[in-house]
Amino acid sequence: MKFTATQIAGILNGQIEGNADVSVSKLSKIEEGDNGSISFLANPKYTQYIYGTKASIVIVNKDLMLTAPVSATLIRVESAETAFAQLLEMYNQVKLNKVGISKQAFISDTAKIGDHIYAGEFAVIGENAVIGNNVKIYPQVYVGDNVVIGDNTTLFAGVKIYSETIIGKDCIIHSGTVIGSDGFRFNPQNDNQKIPQIGNVIIEDNVEIGANCAIDRATLGSTILRKGVKFDNLIHIAHNVEIGENSYLAACNVVAGSTKIGKNCMFSGQVGIVGHLEIADNTTITAQSGISKSILKKGEVQMGSPAFDANKYRKAYIHFRNLDSIVTRLNTLEKLNDLKKID
Q: Is 239 a catalytic residue?
A: yes
| Cβ atoms 109, 128 nearer than 8 A | no
Catalytic residue among 116, 236, 239, 276: 239
Rounded Cα–Cα distance for residues 208 and 101 (Å): 24
Rounded Cα–Cα distance for residues 327 and 277 (Å): 37
Rounded Cα–Cα distance for residues 267 and 262 (Å): 12
Question: Phi-psi region for residue 300, left (φ > 0), alpha (ψ -120 to 50) or beta?
Answer: beta
Count CB-CB contacts under 10 A for residue 192: 9
66-89 core/surface letters (b: 16 or more CB in 10 A; e: else): eeeebebbbbbbeebeebbeebee
Strands 3-4 and 23-24: antiparallel
| Cβ atoms 47, 68 nearer than 8 A | no
How is 283-316 classified by DSSP, letter by letter? -EE-TT-EE-S-B-STT-EEEETTEEEHHHHHHH
Q: How many CA atoms lie within 13 A of 314 on its CB side?
A: 5
- Read off the DSSP letter of residue 64: P
How is 183-239 classified by DSSP, letter by letter? P--EEGGGTTEEPP---EEEE-TT-EE-TT-EEEPPSSSEEEE-TT-EE-SS-EE-T
| Cβ atoms 241, 260 nearer than 8 A | yes
| Cβ atoms 196, 162 nearer than 8 A | no
**Active site residues per annotation:** 239
